[in-house]
Amino acid sequence: MRLIQQAWTVAAKDLRSELRTKESLNAAGGFALVILVLFSFVTDPGETETLYALSGGLLWLVFAFAGVLILNRSFAREQANDCLDALIASPLSPAALILGKSAASFVLLLIVELPCLPIFGGLYGLSQWSSHWLGLVGVVLLGTWGMTVIGAVFSALTVNLRLRELMLPMLVYPLLIPVLMSAMRLSTVFISGKDLEADDAIWLRLMIAFDIIFTALALALAEDVLVS
């Protein structure tokens, strides 16, 4: 319970700070919108079956690229006035700090992602997902948490690097391959208006296992990450 309370304090602080400036939200939201529009110009609206087959991949490419803009700011905003050193030296547990940063990035990324779903459907003429919107939102929640918990860990590891904007995606994207593959596959199923079959359920279990395992690892290794 104490871990959750401390994590909530960190997350609330980050959310208040970001909602005042909207630096990450404006950058990530604008980027996602531009990429969605650009992709719409290189696809043929008449090729409906092809669009449905590619829909999950297109959507999660946008989310993955936009997410890095938010994750880069997760620990970078604490550099001013040695705030990060103060947080590490405080009674706050390292696990709570990582969990709070992950939760804040999770909420901010959802603020960008959820409006993209109807925009994506409108731009590409994909309407069948409306009958499976609850499943699609569930996939977005699971996939986004996997992205943010790993992103928070590597944001802490790269915060003091001069090229952190370059190093963070290079380190994070390879680890995100399982969760992104699962999210792409499941999103394609729901956007196409289909029900999950046995083969698709394997991807769902993989995504859930990914989130649980990497959340546990992030909390267990939080102290080593923050003092490295």
The model's pLDDT over 72-129, given as tens digits with 9 standing for 90+, comes to: 888 877 766 667 777 777 777 888 889 999 999 999 999 999 998 888 888 877 776 6
Structure token digits, residue 193: 């208006």
DSSP-derived secondary structure letter, 195 = P
Structure token digits, residue 50: 């092809």
Which residue numbers in the chain have pLDDT < 50?
none
Q: How many domains does the chain contain in total? A: 1
Structure token digits, residue 133: 């919107």
- Provide the pLDDT for residue 80: 67
Q: What residues make up the domain containing 49? A: 2-227
Rounded alpha-carbon distances, angstroms, from residue 136 to 120, 128, 132: 13, 11, 6
- Provide the pLDDT for residue 102: 93
- Tokens 């959340």 -> residue: 215
- Provide the pLDDT for residue 130: 67
Rounded alpha-carbon distances, angstroms, from residue 4 to 7, 14, 71, 103: 5, 15, 21, 11
